[in-house]
Amino acid sequence: MVRLFYDRVLADPLLAPVFLEVARIDLDTHLPLIAAFWKKLLLNQPGYKRHMMAKHRAVHHREPLTGAHHERWLVLFHANLDQHFDGPQTDRARLLSARVMNNLYRQLSG
């Protein structure tokens, strides 16, 4: 799920620069962390111990993340789910992704 989603994000003209130029993510490091985040949310698996908001605030300070960024992220996330997955965990992922993104946007936008 995470790899397929990031394939979309890194091909997107709005989001790719944020991830590659502003946040300067290293995919080999970043993808396992994000996978651990989603495993924790969806499967209640331990392993993710980072503070998501601190990382996003740092990026936001370098270049403000707007409503357009948040909306595009959510559209791409849901499109990825719709194309590749189905079932109760997919429905849960849709719900949780919207909650995560709404919370992130609310906290970053003040």
Instruction: State how far the Cα of 1 lies from the Cα of 22, in Å rounded to an integer.
Output: 23
Residue found by looking up tokens 């111990």 in the block: 49
- Go through the chain and tell me how many residues it has: 110
Using an 8 Å Cβ cutoff, are 63 and 22 in contact?
yes
- Which tens digits make up the pLDDT trace of 32-69? 999 999 999 999 999 898 888 999 999 999 999 999 99
Amino acid code (one letter) for 17: P
- Which tens digits make up the pLDDT trace of 82-110? 999 999 999 999 999 999 999 999 999 97
Q: What phi and psi values does residue 35 have, to the nearest 5 degrees?
A: -60, -40
Instruction: State how far the Cα of 40 lies from the Cα of 57, in Å rounded to an integer.
Output: 21
Q: Which domains occur in the chain, in start order?
A: 2-109 (1.10.490.10)
